[in-house]
Amino acid sequence: MTAVPIPNLPNALARIRAIVGDKGCVTDPEAMAPFLIDDRKKFLGKTPMIVRPATTLEVAAVVELCAQHGLAIVPQGGNTGLCGAQIPSPAGAEIVLNLSRLNRVRDVDPINYTITAEAGCILAEVQAKAAEVDRLMPLSLAAEGSCEIGGNLSTNAGGINVLRYGMARDLVLGIEVVLPDGRIWDGLRRLRKDNTGYDLKHLFIGAEGTLGIITAAVLKLFPRPREVVTALLAVPDLDSALALMVQAREASGDKLTAFELMERICFDFALRHVPGTHDPLNQAYDHYVLLELSSSETGGLRATMESILESAIEHGTVIDGTIAANDAQAKALWRIRETQNDAQKPEGGSIKHDVSVPVGQVPEFIRRASAFVTTLIPGARPVAFGHVGDGNVHFNVSQPIGADRARFLARWPDMNHGIHDIAHALGGSFSAEHGVGVLKRDELVRFKSPVEIELMRRIKAAIDPQGLMNPGKVLEP
Ligand SMILES: Cc1cc2nc3c(=O)[nH]c(=O)nc-3n(C[C@H](O)[C@H](O)[C@H](O)COP(=O)(O)OP(=O)(O)OC[C@H]3O[C@@H](n4cnc5c(N)ncnc54)[C@H](O)[C@@H]3O)c2cc1C
């Protein structure tokens, strides 16, 4: 792609440098490289400058200046997004506004059960700050060591605790946003009840940086679990996994915090490629569930898990299993689930899907999707896993053994198309938690009604009339 000329670019870049200082600008190609490629190495972008402001005022000044110069902005947090939304276009006409230096926890309030964190705070560090005052920040995902609060909110991240605590959106009481013209909207409310007109924060949450820059947020905290019990259970088939979830929810009330499905191939890949993993059961099974109960009370939770297990064995919904005896064992069980992305990489090309369907349709979705991909590409290896308690399946497909990687990956659009059609037919969504970005922009148009698309375009035009906020992401320009 040829570079797009930006009028007065050197002047604009010099003025940005004057705002953020040398520490806040990266222009050396080698230093810029890690900011310009995503985790899966699927998107490679170009930019004249990575800008790294350290305060909300600096963000506002940079954004205002960009508005004056007609310079487009790609907001970026920890760069763990999976749809290419945080990577600039290869045309090189956009600056990257990386928020990682805006990383102060402004306030922790154990009485109000809230934490106010700036956009660049790493999720794991926010969890740790909450734990220091004996509170739980429940948002949790495998990328938590590097993803950041601004990115989490802008993608409306999900993760492993959605079943009990909801998506990122459900955890937000207030946000601070720099609007595309550089004005600051201070919406950092710490209220659980506030019915005062349109709830604007929800427009920016999940917008993937297309409406403004989130600079800080007030997030809900919860009582910290005193007891956590984790079990890995083998189930005879997919329908049994579903029956087990219903059973476990009924028996434990709201104590069921995670319910993750994994097929045997997930174990095979992890055992082969992830150091330190071992098979927790003595025998191999086709389907497994990783189940976690947690409670802020102490005592009795293990007994609850044991009684769920006993009853499930009696009903035939579980055929084998193990309950972690301690933290180390629980971590070992979670490691198999959490390293799935890395475990799949050495197996060659992998085509990804992040779909959701109503929970009761998960088994049917996996059956139909597996049949579809193995008909489309004989020998293709479906790797289904994910947050089944939320109806969210990460339906990845590894290339046939010995196949040509590039030729397999060239089928990505065909395969996505078919899988998304299956999810849609079952009342589902083509993107459960990873968003749209560039990767699924065409699918948005395919599956959303014209009315919904028109409303989205009107909102974009009203808030970002110059179209400078993450152009070409989510919606076609
Ligand atoms: C191993 C791995 C596991 C993952 N597991 C999950 C999972 O379980 N659940 C899940 O939901 N996601 C998951 N993801 C995806 C990713 O981690 C999340 O989308 C995360 O929320 C992105 O945060 P980030 O800081 O890295 O954002 P980035 O990748 O930097 O950006 C993501 C989007 O947010 C925008 N953005 C970033 N910061 C701001 C800001 N301050 N203001 C406005 N816009 C902004 C960007 O423009 C882009 O559109 C996973 C990713 C990896 C690599």
For residues 303 and 471, give the distance between their C-alpha atoms in angstroms, rounded to a whole number: 53
Reading the block at residue 21, the tokens are: 């200082």
Which tokens in the block code for residue 117?
A: 């964190």
Which atom of ligand 1 approaches the CA of 146 most closely?
26
Residue 341 Cα: closest atom of ligand 1: 1
Supply the DSSP string of 387-404, one letter for each residue: -GGGTEEEEEEEPPTT--
Q: Per the structure block, which two tokens stand in for 80? A: 């763990």
Task: Specify the 3-state DSSP secondary structure of 341.
Answer: helix
Ligand 1, atom 20: closest residue by C-alpha: 152
Q: Phi then psi for 325, rounded to 5 degrees?
A: -85, -20
Please enumerate in sequence order all residues whose Cβ is within 8 A of that of 104, keeping only pairs 6 or more positions apart, or say none: 117, 118, 121
Nearest atom, ligand 1, residue 102 CA: 41
Indicate the helix (H) or strand (E) that contains 383.
strand 381-386
Q: Which residues contact 179 (CB under 8 A, 6 or more apart)?
A: 63, 185, 212, 463
- For a substitution probing ligand 1, which of 123, 125, 147, 179 has the most ligand atoms within 8 Å of its CB? 147
List the chain pLDDT tens, one digit each, 477 residues.
444 556 689 999 999 999 999 999 999 999 999 999 999 899 999 999 999 999 999 999 999 999 999 999 999 999 999 999 999 999 999 999 999 999 999 999 999 999 999 999 999 999 999 999 999 999 999 899 999 999 999 999 999 899 999 999 999 999 999 999 999 999 999 999 999 999 999 999 999 999 999 999 999 999 999 999 999 999 999 999 999 999 999 998 889 999 999 999 999 999 999 998 999 999 999 999 999 999 988 888 999 999 999 999 999 999 999 999 999 999 999 999 989 989 999 999 999 999 999 999 999 999 999 999 999 999 999 999 988 889 999 999 999 999 999 999 999 999 999 999 999 999 999 999 999 999 999 999 999 999 999 999 999 999 999 999 999 999 987
| Whole-number Å distance between alpha carbons of 470 and 477 | 10
**How many other CB atoms are there within 10 angstroms of residue 5's CB atom?**
8
CA of 79 relative to ligand 1 center, distance in Å: 7
Tokens found for residue 310: 């006993």
Q: Report the pocket of ligand 1 as residue ranges, CB < 6 Å.
A: 39, 74-82, 85-86, 99, 119, 141-143, 147-148, 150-152, 154-155, 157-159, 208-209, 213-214, 341, 433-434, 470, 473
Distance in angstroms (rounded) separating the CA atoms of residues 258 and 235: 16
Q: Closest ligand 1 atom to the C-alpha of 74? A: 47
Indicate which residue's Cα is closest to atom 23 of ligand 1: 151
Distance 104 CA to ligand 1 centre (A): 19
Ligand 1 atom at minimum distance from 154 CA: 34
Quote the ligand 1 centre to 43 CA distance (angstroms).
Answer: 14
Which residues, in sequence order, are CB contacts of 223 under 8 Å at separation 6+?
Answer: 135, 136, 296
What number does the ligand 1 atom closest to the CA of 40 have?
A: 53
Phi and psi based region of residue 202 (left: phi greater than 0; alpha: psi -120 to 50; beta: remaining): alpha
Token pair recorded at residue 370: 């597996």
